[in-house]
Structure 1
Amino acid sequence: MTERANGRPDARRAQVRRHRRERQIVVFGVLVIALAFTGVFAAGVYKGDIDGPFSQPFVTPVGEFESDVTLVCPPVNSTPMLHRNVGVRVLNGSDVSGLAGSVSSVLDERNYVIVTTANWGRTYAGNVRIVFGPDGVRQAYTVAQNFDGDVDMVLDNREGTLVDIVLGEEYQSANLRSTLAPELDPDLILTANAECLPVGLITPEPAPRSLPANPVDEKKKQDS
């Protein structure tokens, strides 16, 4: 009764509870620090900034991606651009005289900006070859809708949005689609006709040494 009256058992219990709380604080603090470190480490491994404990990486580091795919995907869920915002250069890669001029006249009627027409300088054996840079992917797919048959989409490292259209030996006038063709629906989502990859994963070809000025790009610079 004297010990209880003097509060000694209560003091001991209070001390035990205090020690228990202190241990809990230490344990939880260590766990929080460990979880934080684990999260940072896992994020570093995922990004490829830190070597992980496994021989197989979670992601392929930039610059080590390899693929035989050369086709660039159109922007996700994108529709054709307004034709007045697409500058094209029409090149004749065949032996048919005047081919570039006749095709450019039709595209001009469809409100594309015809930058120039010329001979390609060499022969293209295929149907239509469309060449564009990283900034002109949507423009290129907009142009490609005009043509039926095999259309070769080629990415090079040019600056700007100018799209080159090369007409080849297999091209025929019937390969230029009518404006009533369902493929020319302005609300149709742009799609690739083969396996493709985002533009950042395709190695571009060298661009021509010189390209004509694209009025569309010049206008954008002035507006900005």
Structure 2
Amino acid sequence: MTSPAPDPVRETRRKREHERQAVVFGLIIAFLLIVGLAAAAMYTGAFSSPFSRPIYTPVAEAPQPEPCLPQVEGQPDGALPVPYPDVQVRVYNAADGSEPLASANEDVLAERGFDVVDTGNWVEKLGQSEVRFGAKGITRAYTLAAQYPDVRLVLDDRKGSKVDLLVGEQYSPPLSTDRVLLDAETPMKDAEGCMPADEITPIAQVTLPQKKG
């Protein structure tokens, strides 16, 4: 009995299937080899995986806390306001514009009795207005800040007791005298969330040439 003759079409189809399978298995084996080599390289430290790098989220630097009022000798109940003539103030414009903004504040403060010793333009633009001062000028800074509805108290490393008013972009004019919550016989209140001055790292003082004595 003779065997049936092979079907050429079937043989061709089978040959092509074998070729496709060989290609697929070859690709799978090549992929596994690449993965294995990469894993071995990461394990031995030849290169680091991008997934092993820590992800850092930028954190905005917290503003310097405002200092609390100090203990003042002879004032056991708390620091009292400093008489206006004893507060030496320099007034600087830190907003877009020119010096007249500082001069306008000079006029108001001088009319109330503050000793305004200089005015001019600040070295940079600020958003919120600031009162800057050293450790010896904290009570004077609080006395000056009480004249305004919204200023930040910023401690710097100056040695003297002069204070600087920096009039920023978000400028608010001085309060009317009847709204200034100061009384010569009533201790001033600490700024909300304040810290003792000796626990604060002061910023560096910026000194501008003075035009006045």
- The reply to whether TM is greater than 0.5 is yes
Q: 2-side partners of 1:212 and 1:96: how far apart? A: 20
1:136 equivalent to 2:137? Answer: yes
Distance 1:182 1:139, change over 3 A: closer
For residue 159 of structure 1, what is the aligned residue in structure 2? 159
**Aligned to 1:186, what secondary structure does the other structure show?**
coil
Compare CA radii of gyration and give the structure with the larger one.
2
**Aligned to 2:165, what secondary structure does the other structure show?**
strand
Deviations 1:130-167 (A, max 9, x none): 00001111110110100012x11100101101100001
Cα drift, residue 91 of structure 1 = 0.6
1:183 equivalent to 2:152? Answer: no
Over aligned residues, Cα RMSD in angstroms? 2.3
TM-score (norm 1): 0.59
For residue 84 of structure 1, what is the aligned residue in structure 2? 85
Aligned sequence identity (%): 32
Q: 1-side partners of 2:169 and 2:63: how far apart? A: 26
Deviations 1:197-223 (A, max 9, x none): 2211111101124564997xxxxxxxx
CA contact (8 A) 1:145 1:183 kept: yes
Q: How many residues align?
A: 145
TM-score (norm 2): 0.62
Runs of 4+ in 1 over 6 A off after TM superposition: none
- Structure with the bigger percentage of helix: 1
CA contact (8 A) 1:70 1:203 kept: no
1:111 equivalent to 2:113? Answer: yes
Give ranges in structure 1 of 5+ residues lacking alignment: 1-66, 216-224
CA contact (8 A) 2:146 2:180 kept: no
**Aligned to 2:142, what secondary structure does the other structure show?**
helix
Give ranges in structure 2 of 5+ residues lacking alignment: 1-61, 72-77
